[in-house]
Structure 1
């Protein structure tokens, strides 16, 4: 058994299995996917609350420090996606460089990350949308406005279910039409953020930047650990590698470009926000809207509500897409039922994987209170980051994987090791409750692997393997 669970998959096998995907995505498409996942409602909240509680105007440096740490992992993902242009992201990378069991664990972690993230955001989208409807005098019936909780009169969050199904319907039509919609939505979101920055510049008071570091550098560093999670999501871009034109060039551009643009936007909002209003006043639920109303620019605050809805929509598009490609990849390898790996002839999408993912996410968003579970997204992401970072070392040793002309992490092996250590530090900072929840999830995953995946795995039935 020990030999079979540590067998490594061949890159050529994956390339052969994924060749039916239509290669239609460009570097700009990848960046809109990535920005769609990374930039959500957090950009309108975190700069203010972290400034008030941790870093003062130095919150800009907190975002920069967090971006630098994320850049290490982003470069590792860029090299993997350039060398292994296949579906499945860290799951497939783990299968190739570490072996099947590690690949399964990473896949199971990513299933948790992607599906829980979309389910959580769907409830946030529903809350914003219901608030928007209420401003027009339209109210969703109480029974249809929240998770299953008969004691409080709620049975299903119908808007959360609906938005997940709408996103899935768009994705089911194929990536070309899906990307047109997603690209437009991301552009709208970025324009709204730029409007805030552009207008806010005229209301900056230099005195608000003093003191710049009221909590010293310790506060900036603590703020960096908080805003670090605002950058998570760029890794989802790597799930699309099998559908990308010229992946050796475009995958690194998409992943690293996403992080650069997100960093600029986060820092831009932070600089303007803390210049408009003293940082001590920003510990409110929606600090950007608060700052705009403080300078009598309430019309932009209303515009931000639209930006929040669009931002959450694009995040759900990217993460639902990534979830379906992940489930497709696991089915492709036999660790989940093989029908999940079948591609539709017309849309070249894994319809079965996509709709099963959608039903699970919709059920979670519509019926379950997710308040205590969203922190599990972070541990799933960081675990994948850790293995991808350290995985660069065995990847470089693989003679059967050529990456000529592709991106390679500089200063090897120092940067991959630093990236892995940074991720482990971030994992250590997570709460005990997060570890307990993750432990339960991974126990379920291990049971599923040995009860189904181990017996049905393609690799478990092959007599040869790539070392």
Structure 2
């Protein structure tokens, strides 16, 4: 019995047909695309774009977005192949179980829980800040003790509570609300883009690629691992600035992989999942590039306010009222992000629980709504406590490193499963295997070493806790181990 035992694709699919642990298949390609856009497009489109242009790339930030999208596309292709081959809840966890073995699957599941649960809590706090700011613009002052930075962040807790109830009621119902909010968000983004086009001064695009400049490097635990280990110093602008900008804005795309967590609830997963994942990337890339062109055209890159790029750009043009529109867009945008991350987290833990790497009670499905209500409720309560009572804003990089680690495992898994099971029917196939998956892994590794040493230390601690938990519970109670023991006992000769 080994920690490297795998769970066959056929067995993973068979588990989805267990009546007591079966989710309802009712998501279309459109639902999945809206799901993906809902999590990728958040407040970052209003802030990160301007910050990256001001600090590292200038107007050439457009090239950074395209480069980052190409990097994400490599990982997206790997996700699309796995999702169409193994249409089961759990995303990278399930894919890793089928190709890399139980221990690595557990590590990825634990890693995804970090990405999704912590991500939902961090974004809920950001939503709370935008909500309070929006209310203030209407003359409504939220009590300081229960506002962001107070004793308790009540708006963030209320948001997670409401969304948790919505998720329990049903995935389709959740996505109907998501559709409305995504439509509102996209309307505001398009409104901002169209309004900004008429205020563009083309002189601000010169030079489009500013001359390279050295920038002050971090020190100690805040220094990037790349700087600590390899001695590589960061630089801004020029061609190097485009690559630095790509590393920065790459994280604006994080979330498209959450689409794969709903594989078990897609009507035609072999067709709809690849469409949902790839369409999400295309739509988001177009919107990011358009906003980048508007910001750098409205105001010269070296005068952009990194903290409130779009709002300040419109204020400088005498349109301060646009700050209200942008805040409303951020509130709508972040609502969909939190909703999607909570759904993703519940589906990953559901898959792990169904495999008995976590207590099987967590995978209990509601008899009426056909949703994993127990784990949704547990994660909702945990998310409320984290978002409401802890200052976790500084842990945002943990979300990034967790996501990139999952990307690497999925990319490697595609190569392994191609070798192990060439006979499998694959509705979507990554071209140029193993070259593209290896390239995807190397790019993700490069982005990981751009993160701080402190982030790596925290990530290592989280992984150690996860491995300890696996050997304390999952290893002994996993369904695969029980089946392995049963098979051995049947094969053993009597007497």
1:324 to 346, 355, 360: 346
Q: 2-side partners of 1:84 and 1:465: how far apart?
A: 25
Is 1:350–2:372 an aligned residue pair? Answer: yes
Is 1:167–2:189 an aligned residue pair? Answer: no
Gaps of 5+ in 1: 148-153
Q: 1-side partners of 2:46 and 2:132: how far apart?
A: 19
Q: CA deviation at 1:319?
A: 0.4
Judge conservation of contact 1:328–1:353 (CA < 8 Å) in 2: yes
Which aligned segments of 4 or more residues in structure 1 are displaced greater than 6 angstroms?
none
Partner of 2:2: 4
Q: CA deviation at 1:280?
A: 1.0
TM-score (norm 1): 0.95
Alpha-carbon distance change, 134 to 63 in structure 1, aligned in 2, over 3 angstroms: same
Alpha-carbon distance change, 401 to 286 in structure 1, aligned in 2, over 3 angstroms: farther
Q: What does 1:131-150 align with in structure 2 at a 5 Å threshold? A: 131-146=133-148
Give the aligned length.
457
Is 1:424–2:426 an aligned residue pair? Answer: no
Give me the CA root mean square deviation: 1.5
Partner of 1:265: 287
Q: 2-side partners of 1:297 and 1:49: how far apart?
A: 20
Partner of 2:214: none
TM-score (norm 2): 0.90
Partner of 2:394: 372
Alpha-carbon distance change, 195 to 410 in structure 1, aligned in 2, over 3 angstroms: same
Task: Please state whether the residue corresponding to 2:113 is helix, strand or coil.
Answer: helix
2:478 to 431, 434, 457: 457
Cα offsets for 1:60-107 (capped at 9, x unmatched): 101111111111001100000010000000011111101100000000
2:25 to 23, 42, 55: 23
Judge conservation of contact 1:82–1:252 (CA < 8 Å) in 2: yes
2:468 to 421, 424, 447: 447
Judge conservation of contact 2:12–2:88 (CA < 8 Å) in 1: yes
Q: 2-side partners of 1:87 and 1:233: how far apart?
A: 16
Q: 2-side partners of 1:72 and 1:400: how far apart?
A: 21
Q: 1-side partners of 2:206 and 2:300: how far apart?
A: 9
Partner of 1:54: 56
Is 1:292–2:292 an aligned residue pair? Answer: no
Q: What does 1:183-262 align with in structure 2 at a 5 Å threshold? A: 183-214=179-210, 215-262=237-284
Cα offsets for 1:335-376 (capped at 9, x unmatched): 111011111111110000101111111110001110221110
Judge conservation of contact 2:128–2:148 (CA < 8 Å) in 1: no
Q: CA deviation at 1:14?
A: 1.9
Cα offsets for 1:316-342 (capped at 9, x unmatched): 111000000011111001111101111
Q: CA deviation at 1:130?
A: 1.6
Partner of 2:229: none
Q: CA deviation at 1:141?
A: 2.7
Judge conservation of contact 1:72–1:415 (CA < 8 Å) in 2: yes
Q: 2-side partners of 1:78 and 1:338: how far apart?
A: 28
Judge conservation of contact 1:34–1:233 (CA < 8 Å) in 2: yes
Is 1:157–2:179 an aligned residue pair? Answer: no
Cα offsets for 1:271-304 (capped at 9, x unmatched): 1111111111113311101111222233333111
Task: Please state whether the residue corresponding to 1:78 is helix, strand or coil.
Answer: helix
Judge conservation of contact 2:54–2:306 (CA < 8 Å) in 1: no
Q: CA deviation at 1:146?
A: 4.2
Alpha-carbon distance change, 278 to 189 in structure 1, aligned in 2, over 3 angstroms: same
Alpha-carbon distance change, 179 to 285 in structure 1, aligned in 2, over 3 angstroms: same
Alpha-carbon distance change, 24 to 86 in structure 1, aligned in 2, over 3 angstroms: same
